[in-house]
Homo-oligomer: A and B are copies of this chain.
Amino acid sequence: MGDPADFEGWSCPAPLRGYDRVVTGHGGGGKLSLELVEHLFLPALGIDGAGELHDAAAVDAGGVRLAFSTDSYVVQPLFFPGGCIGDLAVNGTVNDVAMRGGRPIALSAGFVLEEGLPLATLGRVAEAMGVAARAAGVPLVTGDTKVVDACKATAGGASGLFVNTAGIGVIPPGVDIRPRRATIGDRVIVSGPIGLHGVAVMATRAGLEFETTVQSDSAPLNGLVEAMLEASTEIHVLRDPTRGGLGATLCEIAGSAGVGIEVSESAVPVPDEVAAACALLGLDVMQVANEGKLVAIVPDADADAVLEAMVRHPRGREARVIGSVTDEHPGMVVACTALGGRRVMDLPLGEQLPRIC
């Protein structure tokens, strides 16, 4: 099939902002990620681009509806306050399955290891995965390991390990949770304080250490979702605001459903330490990643019951209504600031960069 750098045999159906190579932002969960999916992956894979983009796909398996999801984890450093790449890989995929309304039943784990990685490091990561899987009540049932040559750029550094997890869940009959179901009049609920994971990781990243007691919120949300579904099976949308944060998640929902979303900034729970770190680094907290929070979009009539079920659950104790779905500004998210102003929340381009001067 010729040289891999050969441009013959493939042409991009729509220009990708003039880039002809992968840049970091393509993995950031913002506009560049979306463009890569819409303009490269979907046409190249031959998948109908009109399909909705989800945290998990729904698949019929002999009459049982399954939620199926995958995620690769490449976080640096491997260990950070509140967790490590291992529990993140378990919780992230458990949560993606749960965001489709699926009750997770099994996980797979695929490791790519760099030659030279200390086995003790690998052991600690695997142990964290086992602990997280038991905490979520979802067994790791199948796996795979590959070894690749050591990368000279990271030798001696903290790198050396990527994990992919995939997960299956069973979607209960009558449950239909997906972004397009967001309906005018629905309430927007967030399950707790935002920004913790992103700030915790950034605080330990080489060259950027700063003092903070912020810990990652890495946690499984399947139990919380079960409690919410007991309160109402009419939940329209669930999403965990990971890469791109709460802002990107709301923008994607507004875009998918063709509705407007209005958020009251002062209603969004932001811990003081997260707010301080964001101010210091020049980050928008609405774009900072979370790994143990969810956003629910629920019919007005069911919102109180769902919120009550959330605050009774340990993972949703600080849940709050933060906004609503509106027929104004379809496809757009508008934040009402504490001072009474209004600002459009846009999908970030790629990854947020900390302030450097």
**In whole angstroms, how far apart are the Cα atoms of A149 and B11 in the complex?**
25
Neighbour of A164 across the interface among B105, B134, B160, B164, CB < 8 A: B164
**In whole angstroms, how far apart are the Cα atoms of A134 and B46 in the complex?**
9
- Chain B residues with Cβ below 8 Å from A319 are none
Interface size class on chain A is 35 or more
- Chain B residues with Cβ below 8 Å from A84 are 1
CB pair A26–B66 under 8 Å, yes or no, is no
Judged by a CB distance under 8 angstroms, whether A279 is at the interface is no
Judged by a CB distance under 8 angstroms, whether A126 is at the interface is yes
User: Of A37-45, A182-190, A270-278, A330-338, which binds chain B?
Assistant: A37-45
CB pair B70–A117 under 8 Å, yes or no, is no
Q: Which of A62-115 contact B (CB under 8 A)?
A: 62-64, 66, 68-74, 77-80, 83-84, 105-106, 108-115
User: Of A150-158, A224-232, A257-265, which binds chain B?
Assistant: A150-158
User: Of A14-22, A307-315, A320-328, which binds chain B?
Assistant: A14-22
Q: Which residues of A contact B (CB under 8 A)?
A: 1-7, 9-12, 16, 19-28, 33, 36-37, 40-41, 44-47, 54, 56-57, 59-64, 66, 68-74, 77-80, 83-84, 105-106, 108-124, 126-127, 129-131, 133-134, 139-154, 158, 160, 162, 164, 166, 168, 170
